[in-house]
Amino acid sequence: MIRIFYRQASDIILVRSLDELGTLDRGSVLWIDLITPTGEEKRAVETFLGTEIQSRAQAEEIESSSRYSEDGDAVFVNTNFLSPAGDEMTMDPVSFILTPGCVTTLRENPLRSFDTLQLRLQARPEEFPDGAHIFLEIMDKRVDLDADIVELISNDVSQFSKRINQQEDINEEFLLDINQLQENAMFVRENVVDKQRLLSNYMKSKRCPKDPELRESFNVILQDIASLINHTNFAFERLEYLQDTVVGIINLDQNRIMKIFTFISLLLMPATLVASFYGMNVALPAQNKWWAWIAIFGFMLLLVFILWFVFKKKKML
């Protein structure tokens, strides 16, 4: 699927036909959005831009240190857009090709932020004079969505903290939930740091427009990203603290159980010793008396009480 946005007078027009691409003036095209493009669509856009478009496999194989590159007048940016999917995070790879006046995006899945921007693009065309402003708006909305994800993680951390304070369902499963949330926080941090590095490289490039307002907007996004990184680090540290607390509570519960079993064993040990003596097949004092079992049983209870009293006095219970 291909969507082409070009400027006509004061309006921005959307076309979905590949045949119309060859009839458009390159200077009027602001945004080419490719969603799971066919080979024919990719070749037509490559011819129109005069540069090669990376495949999804090539974009995913690029190392994090090489997600930004330049070739002639084109700037290539590869990043991932995160989306919550239940307890985990899904990553949608998105590639940007920035050429003078135009931005080309390549993605495999629909993204709500792109659909919203495309509606705004036609409703308020005066806000988007070129492709760099569209790229700015995409990154700005993406950072806002990342901020929402960080807020969701912070809310989950607060809920976990309340569960720990109330000692509600503190078990191994709860510990696994904390570990999953740590993984999500780590994904978010890596993704945000990746965008910070990409935008910093783009602003340092000679191919970045010199428009002061545009550069100031990019600086604001970088400040927002720095703030998000701090919040994510704080959430991750809280999760580590909660994890240590849960492990400590589980260990205390296990120690308490072992303490109870040990105390019961110690209480019964003297009585068991007496019972084993009188269970031997040898002559013992008062063995044939009718009251012998009462005396033995009472003596066993006395030993249990004495041992319990000693433990209680030494505050070992």
For 83-99, the pLDDT digits (tens) are 777 777 788 888 888 88
| More confident call, 62 vs 19 | 19
Q: Considering only residues 248 and 119, tell me which one the structure prediction assigns the higher pLDDT.
A: 119
Per cent of the chain over pLDDT 90 is 1
| Higher per-residue pLDDT: 101 or 276 | 101
φ/ψ bin of 225: left (φ > 0), alpha (ψ from -120 to 50), beta (otherwise):
alpha
Residues, the chain, total?
A: 317
pLDDT at residue 77 tops 80: yes
Domain 2-251, CATH? 3.30.460.20
pLDDT of residue 127: 82
Percent of the chain at pLDDT exceeding 70: 89
Burial class (CB in 10 A: 0-12, 13-18, 19+), 252: exposed
State residue 55's pLDDT score: 62
Residue 48 confidence class, pLDDT cut points 50, 70, 90:
confident
At residue 78, the pLDDT reads 87
Are the C-beta atoms of 95 and 59 separated by less than 8 Å? yes
- Computed on alpha carbons and rounded to an integer, the radius of gyration of the chain in Å comes to 35
* pLDDT for residue 60: 53
Can you tell me the mean pLDDT for 224-250? 84
pLDDT at 293: 67
Least confident of 25-29, 133-137, 288-292: 288-292
Distance, in Å, from the CA atom of 109 to the CA atom of 139, rounded to the nearest integer, reads 17
Q: Quick one: which of 94, 72, 2, 6 has its CA closest to 43?
A: 2
Find out whether 78 and 59 touch, Cβ atoms under 8 Å. yes
With 60 as the cut, is the pLDDT of residue 61 above it?
A: no
Whether 155 shows a pLDDT value over 80: the answer reads: yes
CA torsion angle for 310, 312, 313, 315 (degrees, to 10)? 120
pLDDT tens-digit map of 196-215: 888 888 888 888 888 888 88
The yes-or-no verdict on residue 135 having pLDDT over 60 is: yes
Q: How far is CA 280 from the centre of its chain?
A: 67
At position 89, the amino acid (one-letter code) is M
| 45 close to 34: Cβ distance less than 8 angstroms | yes
Q: What pLDDT, on the 0 to 100 scale, is given for residue 89?
A: 76
Q: Structure tokens of 135?
A: 């790229």
- Mean pLDDT taken over the chain: 80
Sheet containing strand 74-85, edge to edge, reads: 11-15, 2-8, 29-35, 102-107, 88-99, 74-85, 68-71
C-alpha distances (whole Å) from 8 to each of 44, 136, 211, 300 are 21, 22, 22, 101
Domain spans, the chain: 2-251, 255-313
DSSP string, 147-196: HHHHHHHHHHHHHHHHHHHTT-S-SHHHHHHHHHHHHHHHHHHHHHHHHH
Least confident of 87-101, 136-150, 281-295: 281-295
